[in-house]
Amino acid sequence: MRHTGTRMSRRGYLQWLAGWGITGLLAACTGGTPQRSKLQGSLELWLWQRFWEPGTVGEAMVKEFGQQNPELQISSQILPGGVAGREKVTAAVAAGAVPDLSYMDRYLAAEWGTGGIAQALNERIKGSKTLNPSDWRDGLRNDVTWRDKVYAVPQGSEPWVFFWNKLMYRDAGLDPNKPPATWDELQEYSKKIYKPDERYGFLPNYGNGGAQAAWLIFMWQQGQDELSPDRTKAVFNNDRGLKALELVVDFVRAQGGAQRFTEFRTNAGAEGTMLLPAGKLAMHFDANSQPSVWLRSVPQTNHGTGLIPKPLGGKDTTYQGGPSYIIPTGAKNPEAAVRFMEFILTKENELRIADAFEAVPVSKTVSQSTEYLSKAPERKVYVQLALGAKWVPVVPGAVQILTLHGQFTADAINGTKSPREALSWAQAEIQKVLDQYIK
C-alpha cells in the first residue's frame, strides 16, 4: 500500500520523539551520552597562588572556562598558603560560607575528609573521562584517598630531583656531566668538594623539605615506608629507617655540623637561598622547578639535573609537593566545581601547566606522552622519579606528624639525641598521634 501522508523531516521526527520522551531511551539503548546541562548560577574558586595568580596561565584558564559557560558567574581569589590558608578554609566551613572549590595541601586530605571539611568525591566523579583516579600517578592518588574515599583532585606536582653545580664539579676534578649514582659515590663526591667555610658538597638539610625530605627519600629507596599499608601503624624504627637517618646525620657532621652550616648560610646573605648557583653548595635535593627560582636572581645557574643517588639495588623514588582541590562541605554549586576540575585536568591544560611551571602532569598517560616528554630532556628524569614519588603521611593528624618530623630529624642532626634514640622517640610519638585520630 502506498503511503500518501506528509513526509516528516528528521528534525521534526526528533522533536516528535522528544515529545514522547523517547530520545533519552534511544540514547541509552545505543550507548550515546545525553548532552550535559548548562552550568548556571555562581562558582566561587579559592585557588593556589603559584598556578593561578594574575598574569599566569591559570588566570587565563579561569577566563576560558567562563567563556565556555557564559551563564555561570565566576569569582576567584588566591588562597594564602600554609597556616593562614588552612585557617581560612576551616573557618569558612564552620561559618557555612564556603567557596565551591578550594585549594588544599594534599597531605590534609584524610584529616579534612574525616573532619567534615572536604566532601568525598567518589560519586561526583564516577564515570568522568577526565577525573579518572586509576590514571593518576600512584602517589598522588594515595595522597587524596582515605579509606577508599577520594577527598580531593590533585593538580600537577613538583618531584624532588638531584641538582649539582657543574663548575664546582670541574674545580674538584670531577666529570661535570657525570653525577653520582649511588650513596657511596655521593659521599665520595661530597668529600672531594667540601672545603671548610668556603664550599659544601652535598647537604641533605638544605632546600625545600629539608632533612625530613632527605630522610624519607633515603628510606623509601630501600623499600621502607613510614606507615603500615593501612596507615594505622608507624613502622620505620628498624634498620632501614635508621640507615636513612644516619646517612642524613653523617653528611652534616662530615662537613662541620649543623651550627657551622647555619652560620655559613647566614653569612652568605642574599645568596643563602641559592647556594648552589652561587657556587657555595655543590649538590642538594629540591623541587624540579627550583632552577626557575634561581633564574630570577642570577643569569646562569650552571646546574645539572638528575636522578637521586640510591643504594645498590635501591628504588627510584622521591618526595613531591603540589596542590589539590576540594569541594568544601556546604558548597552551593558542586556540579560546576567538578566541571572546573575536569577542565583543568584535560590533557591540553595539564600540558599548559607543565610548560608554564614544570609541574609533572597528574595523569600517568599524559606524563608519559610524547607531547610532554619531548619538550625537554630533563622531563624523562622528572617522570622516572615522579612515577614512584610519595609525600608525607596522609592521615588524620598529619599536621602534628609533620611537626614531629622536623623535631626528631633536628634532634639527630644537632646531637640532642643519637639517630637511634631520635628514631625510637619519633615512632612512639607518631603512633600516639595515629591512635588519637584514627578510630
Q: What residues contact 303, with CB distance under 8 A and at least 6 apart?
A: 163, 164, 165, 166, 276, 277, 291, 294
Nearest to 200 by CA among 271, 290, 289, 270: 271
- Higher local confidence (pLDDT), 31 or 164: 164
What are the strands, taking DSSP E only, across 203-358? 281-287, 303-306, 320-321, 323-326
pLDDT for position 322: 85
- Higher local confidence (pLDDT), 12 or 410: 410
pLDDT digits (tens, 9 = 90+) for 113-151: 999 999 999 999 999 999 999 999 999 999 999 999 999
pLDDT for position 10: 40
Strand order in the sheet with 153-154: 72-79, 41-48, 101-105, 323-326, 153-154
- Higher local confidence (pLDDT), 233 or 1: 233
**Residue 26 pLDDT class (50, 70, 90 cuts):** very low
**Residue 15 pLDDT class (50, 70, 90 cuts):** very low
Q: Is the predicted pLDDT of residue 422 greater than 50, yes or no?
A: yes
pLDDT digits (tens, 9 = 90+) for 182-196: 999 999 999 999 999
Q: State the Cα–Cα distance between residues 41 and 62, nearest whole angstrom.
A: 16
Q: Map out the domains of the chain with their CATH numbers.
A: 41-157+322-386 (3.40.190.10), 160-320+397-437 (3.40.190.10)
Please give the single-letter amino acid code of residue 80. Answer: P
pLDDT for position 81: 85
pTM: 0.90
* Rounded alpha-carbon distances, angstroms, from residue 218 to 223, 239, 243, 248, 304: 9, 12, 8, 9, 21
pLDDT digits (tens, 9 = 90+) for 264-284: 999 999 999 999 999 999 999
pLDDT for position 16: 37
On the 0-12 / 13-18 / 19+ scale of CB atoms within 10 A, 74 is middle
Element of type H or E holding 48? strand 41-48
Q: Is the predicted pLDDT of residue 32 greater than 50, yes or no?
A: no
Q: State the Cα–Cα distance between residues 229 and 78, nearest whole angstrom.
A: 35
When mean pLDDT is compared across 33-37, 86-90, 149-153, the lowest value belongs to: 33-37
pLDDT for position 29: 41
* Rounded alpha-carbon distances, angstroms, from residue 300 to 201, 269, 283, 377, 396: 20, 19, 16, 19, 43
Cβ atoms of 69 and 38 closer than 8 Å: yes
pLDDT digits (tens, 9 = 90+) for 282-299: 999 999 999 999 999 999
Q: Is the predicted pLDDT of residue 8 greater than 80, yes or no?
A: no
Please write down the long-range contacts of 275-280, taking CB distance under 8 Å and 24 or more positions apart: 275/200, 275/206, 276/163, 276/164, 276/165, 276/301, 276/303, 277/165, 277/301, 277/302, 277/303, 279/165, 279/167, 279/168, 279/199, 280/198, 280/199, 280/200
Mean pLDDT, residues 52-68: 96
Cβ atoms of 131 and 364 closer than 8 Å: no
pLDDT digits (tens, 9 = 90+) for 156-176: 999 999 999 999 999 999 999
How high does pLDDT run on average in the chain? 92
- Higher local confidence (pLDDT), 333 or 31: 333
Q: Is the predicted pLDDT of residue 23 greater than 50, yes or no?
A: no
Q: State the Cα–Cα distance between residues 163 and 173, nearest whole angstrom.
A: 18
Mean pLDDT, residues 395-417: 97
pLDDT digits (tens, 9 = 90+) for 330-384: 999 999 999 999 999 999 999 999 999 999 999 999 999 999 999 999 999 999 9
pLDDT for position 35: 63
Q: State the Cα–Cα distance between residues 127 and 378, nearest whole angstrom.
A: 34
Q: State the Cα–Cα distance between residues 337 and 339, nearest whole angstrom.
A: 5
Q: Cell 603500615 sits at which residue?
A: 228
Chain centroid, CA 393 distance in Å: 13
